[in-house]
């Protein structure tokens, strides 16, 4: 958006579908939707398409959605639940509108469907940390486990949160996640699809970590949330 904007809303203000966020100097010929920013532009107006919080950065405006399911993007780290085992692949539920496929060749070297039974490696009910390798909307998406920190989950606990709350749990430049890990001493992975993997030394700290994440989830749009969580953690850990 090169042309100058007259912004009509405040940063972090709650906006709803149809709310006019800004007016541009020039009109555009064809209405267009910007899926990354959750805004749509028609004539000279920039309008919110979802229920969310306005986010203003140097002459640009976008909306952070407060609701909604997870929609996959290539490169996202996700945690999937294995729901099916095929002859050459596993089928995973990653809480998206599409099934996710993990091919056996990703996991097993020199894979041959005749000699190996996939259930010996990964079975229904296992959680897998994976990256989305291919997704072009015309076919079910493909996952990969080749990379650091990817693979089957064998310890710790897994909880599900609202996918729209993921950016808040991570925080600006990971500030919230850093706070959580440093205070509780737990290892926490927040996947883009709203599944959180927590590994702690003892049960008490994992309990507190879960409580803190639930707190962030329920107050995602609160100002000064990081401070609030810091106080909560200090109180609980004392």
Partner 1 sequence: MIEKPVLIRDDGLRHDGRKPEDLRPIKMQVGILKNADGSAYVEYGKTKVVAAVYGPREVHPRHLALPDRALIRCRYHMAPFSTSDRKSPAPSRREIELSKVIREALEAVIFSELYPRTSIDIFIEVLQADGGTRTTGLTAASLALADAGIPMRDLIAGVAVGKVDGVLVLDIDEVEDEYGEADMPIGYAASIDEIMLLQLNGVLTPEEFKKAIELAKEGARKIYDQMKKTLHDKYLKIIEK
| Sheet of 5-7, strand order | 5-7, 20-24, 45-48, 39-42, 32-34
14 versus 108: smaller Cβ distance to partner 1: 14
Answer yes or no: are the C-beta atoms of 168 and 225 closer than 8 Å. yes
Q: List the structure tokens of 13.
A: 């203000």
Smallest distance, partner 1 to C-beta of residue 84, A: 13
CA angle 146, 149, 152 (to 5 degrees): 80
189 versus 216: smaller Cβ distance to partner 1: 216
23 versus 50: smaller Cβ distance to partner 1: 50
Interatomic CA distance for residues 82 and 158, integer angstroms: 14
Smallest distance, partner 1 to C-beta of residue 202, A: 31
Smallest distance, partner 1 to C-beta of residue 141, A: 11
Interatomic CA distance for residues 122 and 127, integer angstroms: 9
Furthest C-alpha separation in the chain: 66
Smallest distance, partner 1 to C-beta of residue 110, A: 34
Q: Which residues bind partner 1 (CB under 8 A)?
A: 14, 16-20, 33, 35, 38, 40, 42, 47, 49-51, 65-69, 71, 97-99, 137-138, 164, 218-219, 221-222
97 versus 125: smaller Cβ distance to partner 1: 97
Q: How many residues does the chain have?
A: 238
70 versus 197: smaller Cβ distance to partner 1: 70
18 versus 202: smaller Cβ distance to partner 1: 18
Smallest distance, partner 1 to C-beta of residue 45, A: 9
189 versus 212: smaller Cβ distance to partner 1: 212
Q: In 25-36, which positions are buried (b, 16+ CB within 10 angstroms) versus exposed (e)?
A: eeeeeeeeeeee
Interatomic CA distance for residues 182 and 173, integer angstroms: 15
Q: Which residue has the tokens 């500030």?
A: 175
Smallest distance, partner 1 to C-beta of residue 130, A: 19
Interatomic CA distance for residues 220 and 184, integer angstroms: 20
Q: List the structure tokens of 199.
A: 């590994």
Smallest distance, partner 1 to C-beta of residue 68, A: 3
């Amino acid at each position: 958006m090169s042309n100058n904007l007259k912004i009509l809303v405040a940063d972090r203000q709650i906006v709803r579908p149809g709310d006019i966020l800004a007016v541009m100097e020039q009109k555009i010929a064809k209405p267009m939707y910007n899926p990354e920013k959750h805004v749509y532009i028609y004539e000279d107006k920039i309008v919110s398409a979802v229920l969310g919080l306005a986010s203003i950065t140097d002459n640009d405006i976008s909306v952070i959605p407060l609701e909604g399911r997870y929609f996959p993007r290539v490169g996202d780290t996700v945690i999937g639940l294995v729901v099916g085992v095929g002859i050459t692949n596993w089928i995973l539920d990653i809480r998206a509108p599409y099934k996710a496929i993990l091919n056996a060749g990703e996991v097993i070297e020199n894979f041959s469907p005749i000699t190996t039974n996939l259930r010996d490696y990964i079975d229904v009910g296992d959680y897998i940390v994976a990256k989305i390798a291919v997704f072009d909307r015309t076919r079910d998406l493909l996952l990969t486990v080749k990379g650091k920190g990817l693979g089957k989950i064998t310890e710790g606990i897994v909880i599900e949160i609202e996918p729209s709350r993921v950016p808040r749990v991570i925080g600006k430049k990971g500030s919230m996640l850093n706070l959580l890990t440093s205070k509780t001493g737990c290892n926490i992975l927040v996947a883009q699809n709203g599944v959180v993997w927590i590994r702690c030394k003892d049960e008490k700290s994992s309990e507190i970590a879960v409580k803190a994440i639930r707190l962030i989830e329920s107050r995602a749009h609160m100002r000064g949330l990081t401070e609030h969580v810091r106080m909560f953690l200090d109180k609980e850990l004392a």
